[in-house]
């Protein structure tokens, strides 16, 4: 006869962290939907540009990509706030475990959690603005390039499909962000004084493990935010070809390149200077 099953541990004092999947999933959507669809729009736009060139349309599209890249930085800011929230909560837990009162860590944690919840709401607005801005820009480009009966049907077809994909992805991100915001609000109900609900050693251990996992899921080293912004911004002004990225579905977005890595401008500059100096040396 089977013995009684162990009961799941219930936290009587500490609040558990938000879902570990929110930031990784949004990061994944940004890489696997936002970026590919913007690239798809870019390819369709450049194809029409070859037959119906429009400097004004090119300027509008370049500015739109710059703006979209800046909006992606808001996603990064949310991850940073999550990381700070987790770090301060862990300090609070550590002090409680040692029987010390640490109101500074507690209040800092509450402040960061409040900021993260607020940021979750503002990021939703940013993503809606991102979707609307792209829609407006596509309309402007279509109007500019279809003048005098020019055929831009290929761009219209591709942009319609891309806009649908972007809209769906934004809706998914905003649903995730809204859930994340509610979870952060719940976390802010954490109390400083244990009163009669002194945590058990098992609760301390479980809470530390879960908050550490949440901290790890928000660690900047797990993501490629800057690379994402650079890819969305485009490479019109670069003298190096773009790198080719793989987009895994795991939180850590390791990248591989089939091309040689970028060489920073300052390094190329000093190479050229060194080369010139070497030539002068041998000429003498």
18-75 per-position pLDDT tens digit: 999 999 999 999 999 999 999 999 999 999 999 889 999 999 999 999 999 999 999 9
**Of residues 77, 94, 118, the one with CA closest to residue 211:** 94
Q: Is the pTM of this model over 0.85?
A: no
The 10s digit of each residue's pLDDT in 206-256 is 999 999 999 999 998 889 999 999 999 986 544 444 444 455 444 444 333
In this structure, is residue 250 part of a structural domain?
no
The better pLDDT of the pair 56, 149 is held by: 56
In this structure, is residue 207 part of a structural domain?
yes
The 10s digit of each residue's pLDDT in 111-142 is 999 999 999 999 999 999 999 999 999 999 99
In this structure, is residue 108 part of a structural domain?
yes
In this structure, is residue 95 part of a structural domain?
yes
Q: What is the pLDDT of residue 11?
A: 63
Q: What is the pLDDT of residue 273?
A: 37
In this structure, is residue 34 part of a structural domain?
yes
Query: In whole angstroms, what is the distance from residue 81 CA to residue 111 CA?
Result: 10
Least confident span in 96-110, 167-181, 247-261: 247-261
In this structure, is residue 199 part of a structural domain?
yes
49 — alpha (psi -120 to 50), left (phi > 0) or beta?
Answer: alpha
Q: What is the pLDDT of residue 234?
A: 86
Q: What is the pLDDT of residue 90?
A: 95
Nearest 5°: CA angle at 12, between 8 and 17? Answer: 80
Average pLDDT across the chain, whole number:
82
The better pLDDT of the pair 195, 239 is held by: 195
Q: Which domain holds residue 170?
A: 22-235
pLDDT-above-70 percentage for the chain: 76
In this structure, is residue 111 part of a structural domain?
yes
What confidence category does residue 267 fall into, taking pLDDT thresholds of 50, 70 and 90?
Answer: very low
Q: How many domains does the chain have?
A: 1
Q: What is the pLDDT of residue 131?
A: 97
pLDDT-above-90 percentage for the chain: 64
Helices (H) and strands (E) in the chain, counts: 8, 0
Q: Which contacts of 41-48 are long-range, i.e. CB under 8 A and separated by 24 or more positions?
A: 41/134, 41/138, 41/158, 41/159, 41/162, 42/234, 43/158, 44/154, 44/155, 44/158, 44/159, 44/162, 45/141, 45/155, 47/154, 47/155, 48/145, 48/152, 48/154, 48/155
In this structure, is residue 86 part of a structural domain?
yes
**Of residues 264, 235, 231, 236, the one with CA closest to residue 246:** 231
């Amino acid at each position: 006869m089977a013995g009684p099953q162990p009961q799941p541990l219930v936290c009587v004092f500490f609040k558990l962290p938000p879902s570990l999947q929110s930031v990784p999933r949004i990061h994944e959507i940004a890489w696997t939907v936002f970026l590919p669809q913007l690239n798809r729009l870019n390819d369709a736009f450049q194809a029409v540009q070859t037959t119906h060139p429009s400097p004004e349309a090119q300027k509008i599209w370049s500015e739109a990509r710059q703006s979209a890249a800046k909006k992606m930085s808001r996603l990064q800011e949310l991850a940073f706030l999550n990381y700070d929230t987790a770090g301060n909560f862990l300090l609070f837990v550590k002090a409680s475990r040692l029987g010390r009162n640490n109101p500074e860590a507690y209040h800092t944690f509450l402040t960061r959690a409040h900021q993260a919840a607020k940021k979750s709401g503002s990021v939703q607005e940013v993503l809606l603005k991102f979707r609307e801005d792209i829609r407006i820009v596509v309309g402007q480009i279509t109007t500019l390039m279809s003048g005098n009966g020019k055929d831009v049907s290929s761009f219209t077809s591709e942009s319609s499909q891309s806009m649908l994909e972007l809209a769906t992805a934004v809706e998914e991100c905003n649903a995730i962000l809204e859930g994340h915001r509610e979870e952060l609000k719940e976390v802010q109900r954490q109390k400083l004084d244990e009163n009669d609900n002194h945590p058990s050693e098992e609760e301390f251990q479980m809470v530390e493990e879960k908050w550490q996992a949440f901290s790890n899921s928000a660690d900047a080293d797990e993501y490629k935010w800057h690379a994402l912004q650079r890819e969305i911004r485009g490479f019109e002004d670069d003298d190096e070809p773009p790198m080719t990225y793989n987009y895994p579905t795991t939180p850590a977005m390791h990248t591989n390149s089939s091309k040689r890595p970028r060489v920073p401008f300052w390094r190329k500059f000093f190479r050229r200077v060194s080369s010139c100096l070497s030539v002068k040396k041998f000429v003498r």
